């Protein structure tokens, strides 16, 4: 990985509200109003899911630290400093050839990237992905993201324990959580952009997730990707296309990558993004002596 020589910025006092996508905020408020939400949250806590996840990571993944993979830890620590997160959540590399990353846990959130992801990203692209995952943490998404990720298995288990009642209560909540989860990705992508501090890097990282094939990376055009996004947006103009997009997207935890690309581009051009950049200070010039905790 080649480190960038430009001066990197950090954003002391950065709040989730400074970059959170309005659709994310609105959808999460809707989730919390769904009948059975509080009940299901308590059941998930009681199942000990967080302990199981952490045990699996400690048993079969690599925990990154100052002593373990220090160059990778340096990049991660800098992303935390950029986004004003202190202390950093635990960080693991999972043995998995498929390029992926996720944030999970409740009381002890963890950021996880796969070995396959490290194979396909350069250092700046990795900053975007790590910033994205830390954005979920910063926005207080982690509990709800974990619920969305494991909800089908959780509902099946609770359904057996409650003679099917848990399954019935969870049906509406599952759809609401998935709808929110797709919108939460827009907020996290904004945090990723703040960590990468390079417009093309953010879009390039998303496209490597869409097509993780080394043979075509050098030929991928950011301009062509944005035109493709425009073409996809135009498909919503008639009622049948809108119906198809809703039908095929309703069970997804993430929005289509081409929509994420378009949202990132829109934010790049926004006054909100430019204002945050203008408020930045050179990385390393700020002393982090406080704790910045996410709100749920």
- Are 24 and 138 contacting, i.e. CB atoms less than 8 angstroms apart? no
Given the residues 50, 78, 133, 174, the one annotated as active site: 133
- Are 143 and 104 contacting, i.e. CB atoms less than 8 angstroms apart? no
- Are 222 and 208 contacting, i.e. CB atoms less than 8 angstroms apart? no
- Are 103 and 109 contacting, i.e. CB atoms less than 8 angstroms apart? yes
Residue 174 annotated in active site: no
Q: Which residues are catalytic?
A: 133
């Amino acid at each position: 990985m080649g480190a960038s020589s430009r001066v990197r910025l950090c954003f002391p006092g950065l709040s989730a509200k400074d970059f959170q996508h309005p659709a994310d905020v609105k959808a999460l408020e809707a989730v919390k109003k769904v009948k059975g939400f509080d009940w299901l949250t308590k059941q998930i806590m009681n199942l000990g899911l967080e302990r199981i996840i952490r045990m699996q990571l400690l048993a079969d993944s690599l925990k990154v630290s100052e002593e373990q993979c220090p160059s990778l830890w340096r990049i991660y620590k800098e992303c935390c400093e950029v986004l004003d997160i202190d202390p950093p959540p635990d960080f693991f590399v999972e043995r998995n050839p498929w390029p992926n990353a996720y944030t999970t846990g409740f009381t002890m959130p963890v950021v996880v990237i796969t070995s396959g992801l490290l194979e396909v990203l350069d250092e700046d692209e990795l900053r975007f992905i790590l910033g994205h995952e830390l954005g979920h943490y910063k926005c207080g998404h982690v509990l709800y993201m974990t619920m969305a990720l494991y909800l089908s298995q959780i509902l099946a288990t609770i359904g057996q324990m409650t003679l099917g009642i848990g399954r019935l209560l969870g049906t509406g909540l599952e759809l609401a959580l998935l709808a929110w989860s797709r919108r939460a990705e827009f907020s996290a992508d904004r945090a990723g952009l703040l960590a990468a501090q390079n417009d093309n890097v953010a879009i390039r990282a998303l496209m490597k997730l869409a097509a993780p094939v080394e043979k075509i990376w050098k030929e991928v055009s950011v301009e062509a990707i944005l035109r493709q996004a425009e073409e996809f947006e135009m498909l919503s103009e008639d009622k049948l296309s809108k119906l198809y997009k809703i039908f095929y997207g309703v069970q997804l935890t993430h929005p289509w990558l081409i929509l994420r690309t378009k949202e990132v581009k829109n934010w790049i051009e926004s006054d909100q993004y430019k204002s945050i950049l203008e408020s930045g200070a050179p990385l390393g010039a700020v002393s982090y002596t406080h704790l910045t905790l996410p709100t749920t």
